[in-house]
Each structure stands twice: as C-alpha cells, then as structure tokens.
Amino acid sequence: MAILTLIRHGQSTYNFENRFTGNTDVELTLFGKEEAEKAGVKLKNYKYDIAYTSMLKRAQETLQIILQVIQQTKIPIVADKALNERRYGNLQGQNKDEVTNKYGAQQVEIWRRSYDIRPPDGESLADTYDRVVPYYKKEIEPKLKSGRNVLIVAHGNSLRALVMYLEGIDQKEIVSFEIPTGSPRQYVFEGDLKIKSVNYL
C-alpha cells in the first residue's frame, strides 16, 4: 500500500490580485504561507519518502513550509518543469476582471476551464496533461508501485491534469473540477496502484 498526496500551493500574490498567473514566478502571500502551514498540520501523521514540485517558487516554498511543519526536511525533493502551472500566454499578469470586460465572460471561461482550447499564445489543459502525465508515469508511478509514499506540491492546472489521469475524469467533467489552495488531496493505493480511497484531509 502506498500514499500519494497532492497539494496546490498556497495563495500567491497574483492570486490575491486576481491576475492570471500561469508560469509567472510569483511569491506566496502571508496568507499563502499560513495555508501551507495548515496543510502541514494535516499531514503530521504521515511519513513521506520523496517529494516532487515544480520549478516555480510558490510551489517550492509551500513544500518547504510543509516539510518543516511535519519535520521531514531530509527527504529527497525533485523539482521539474513538467509540473509547472499551465502557461496562460498573453493573459499572464492581466487582471481577470479586466480581461473579462475586454473579451466577455464566456470567452474567458472557455480559456480558463475548457480542456483543449488554448488562451492566446498559451497552453490548454490538454497541453498540460501531455507533459504532466508522462512525467508521472515515468518518474512517480514506479515509486508508488514500490510502496513509497509520495508528496506532490504543484499548481491548479498541473494537478487537475494529474487528477484526470488518476481518477479517469473525462474532458467534460474536468471543466467543473477545482483544486483549492493548500488542501491536501490524498490517495491510498493498493499494491497494483488501484485506488483504495481518495479524499481531502
């Protein structure tokens, strides 16, 4: 049996300012750091063998705070761009309300939530899936199959893509699926990586 825990980073400065963040490398807010600490408290009873994160500092800092809280700072940490947030292209840094006023709520919703439609010069969720899932299969699944417990701290869309794969969610259902910041989503696997249970802690 193995455990996989997925956590979306705490609130970032762009989250707070209601801006499209994408792969812009922004900091956590004070509230985001508090979210990371609270996530750590929820994980105090679990032991991890390895942790994965993206190349972006909001995810890396969230992970570091969590590991300090659970007193597991010595475990291996792997950072890879495959787990980065999806790129929002020309929308990055722009205020979401202003973009909505310019393009209309329906168009913005399509850019944000649809599976395979890209924002201007950006990535779709399908593009994100195509880098996250192969990386997971190659690098992380073997660890779980060997019985190791894995912690992944990443981003809303990179984790949505991974959840699609893990739970067999289809392209229509994933549109309404949201991962809150700082809330551990935990999978318990049987030996063949069949999901025994999944829930938010």
Mapped onto helix, strand or coil, the DSSP state of residue 33 is helix
The identity of residue 196, as a single letter, is K
Residue-level pLDDT at 85:
97
Domains of the chain from N-terminus onward: 8-200 (3.40.50.1240)
Residues in the chain: 201
Residue-level pLDDT at 47:
98
Question: Is it the case that residue 176 has pLDDT exceeding 90?
Answer: no
Contact present, 49 and 145 (Cβ < 8 Å): no
pLDDT tens digits along 81-140: 999 999 999 999 999 999 999 999 999 999 998 899 999 999 999 999 999 999 999 999
Question: Is it the case that residue 183 has pLDDT exceeding 90?
Answer: yes
Q: Let me know if 85 is a catalytic residue.
A: yes
Q: Give the whole-number percent of the chain exceeding pLDDT 90.
A: 95
Q: Which residue has the tokens 């893990």?
A: 166
Query: Which among 35, 85, 123, 155 is annotated as catalytic?
Result: 85
pLDDT tens digits along 57-72: 999 999 999 999 999 9
DSSP assignment of 66-119: HHHHTT-TTS-EEE-GGGSPPP-GGGTTSBHHHHHHHH-HHHHHHHHH-SSPPP
Q: What is the pTM of this model?
A: 0.95
Distances in whole angstroms, Cα of residue 155 to Cα of each of 57, 74, 95, 99: 11, 23, 19, 21
Of 35, 28, 33, 158, the closest CA to residue 88 belongs to 158
DSSP state at residue 173: G
Query: Which among 9, 61, 123, 155 is annotated as catalytic?
Result: 9
DSSP state at residue 83: G
